[in-house]
Amino acid sequence: MVGRVLELKGSGKVFVDFGRFRAMADIGFPVRQGEVIHVKVMGKGAPLRLGLCAPEMKVPEKASKTNIMSEFPSRHLLKEFQSQTRHLLPDAGPDHRGKPGPLELASAVRNLVSHFEPMDMGKDVSQISGQLRKFIEDAGIFYEKKLEKMVEAFVQGKSELPARALSEISETRNIVHKDLKANLLVLKEFLDAKDPALKTLDMKDPEGLRKTVEKFLEEITARQNDSGTRSRSEPVQVYTYLLPMKELETDARVKVYYSKKKRSTSKEGFRISLLLDMEKIGQIRTDFMLNGRSLTVDFSVSEFPIKEYVDDHIDGLKSVLGDIFENVSVNVALSERKISEFEFEDLTPLSTGLIDLKV
């Protein structure tokens, strides 16, 4: 990993910015504040235990960019894109019907703005879950995989023609219409060609938006080429999504665990971790584990009064979730360590070359 030393804490401890996260670390080598270091994870925990990579181990530029990025999209890129597209939405309406070019452009812009619409936690649970699911599934990372799955249905004869032809075509169009990458590609095509249709949306800085779109596509490609934060031998790979929030100044982070197997079973379950940073009560981590129709929710908070507050509302939460799931378990723990581990708990420690004889 590549990181920059932000603070020297003494006793071999430093605070390091890895781009995709920041963490306290234990090191056994001298560093200076502001120095860029190439390190490997020798042990997980709080703080991390890091080892210095050998001088001859140069980190390729492409690998460095991938390592520096964890949450998707990166925070600065999301803010930049929202600022550039927010004023376009009123003009991306039905006024341009009958003009194929502008209509396609307006549709892409509308879908992109909608994709990053801040989540309103005051909405109904079903609305929130639907928006969250769409945000993750249509994030562009699995765009080609979804299309490939549709094609395989025809090739393997699982889809009978013409009985299901129309429904399959409709589903394919739906994927192309909703997916983030597909809409970015449409917008990029108009921007690259400097299409006159751009004038219908009154874009203030088309070139700036074009560069932002390219950066977005680069991040998606990097994610698609990334094997995740777990090693290839592990059954899951982990992606962290930056989720815009309406009520919070700091956007939430959602960590999704994907099965690497071609066919995941219900016995494996589905896991999502959510980290919220609220102005008055600080950070709250929530881990969701769904196994069949059984849901387990584990809250981790940093202060006792917050724990008491959550405890007082557990029964009400169980009642709401009980209408959706057969079995619901809700727990709350006072654990700053669990919260701090959200950033790096899924990093795989590198081998030290030693053999554990006890094994």
Pick the more confident residue, 266 or 9. Answer: 9
pLDDT at 91: 45
Running DSSP on this structure, what letter comes out for residue 138?
T
Lowest mean pLDDT among 35-39, 134-138, 165-169, 258-262: 165-169
pLDDT at 186: 92
Looking at residue 5, its amino acid is V
pLDDT in tens, 248-297: 767 888 999 887 665 445 456 789 999 988 877 788 999 999 998 899 99
Cα separation, 59 vs 62, whole angstroms: 8
Cα separation, 248 vs 61, whole angstroms: 35
Cα separation, 332 vs 312, whole angstroms: 11
According to CATH, the topology of domain 236-340 is: Transcription Regulator spoIIAA (3.30.750)
Cα separation, 80 vs 117, whole angstroms: 14
Q: Which are the contacts of 92, defined by CB distance < 8 A and separation ≥ 6?
A: 105, 106, 107, 109, 110, 113, 201
> Mean pLDDT of all residues in the chain?
77
Q: Which are the contacts of 184, defined by CB distance < 8 A and separation ≥ 6?
A: 108, 112, 140, 213, 216, 217, 220
Lowest mean pLDDT among 39-43, 185-189, 226-230: 226-230
pLDDT in tens, 286-343: 999 999 889 999 999 989 999 999 999 999 989 988 888 899 999 999 998 898 888 7
Domain boundaries, the chain: 2-68, 72-140+179-225, 236-340
pLDDT in tens, 139-184: 999 888 888 887 776 666 555 555 555 566 677 788 888 999 999 9
Cα separation, 46 vs 36, whole angstroms: 21
Query: 92 — phi, psi (to 5°)?
Result: -90, 55
Q: Annotate 174-199 with DSSP letters as a single string.
A: HHHHH-HHHHHHHHHHHHHTT-GGGG
User: Is a pLDDT exceeding 90 seen at residue 44?
Assistant: no
Pick the more confident residue, 52 or 64. Answer: 52
Query: Contact 283/275 with Cβ under 8 angstroms?
Result: yes
pLDDT at 167: 62
% of the chain residues with pLDDT over 70: 76
Architecture (CATH level 2) of domain 2-68: Beta Barrel (2.40)
Q: Which residue reads 């969250």 in tokens?
A: 132
User: Is a pLDDT exceeding 50 seen at residue 56?
Assistant: no
236: number of CA atoms within 13 Å, CB side? 14
Expressed in percent and rounded to 5, the helix, strand and coil fractions of the chain are: 40, 25, 35
Mean pLDDT for 242-246 is 88
pLDDT at 273: 93
Mean pLDDT for 6-17 is 81
C-alpha 147, offset from chain centre: 21
Cα separation, 100 vs 61, whole angstroms: 41
Residue 300: closest CA among 342, 329, 258, 245? 342
Domains 2-68 and 236-340 share a fold: no
User: Is a pLDDT exceeding 60 seen at residue 64?
Assistant: no
Query: Contact 296/326 with Cβ under 8 angstroms?
Result: no
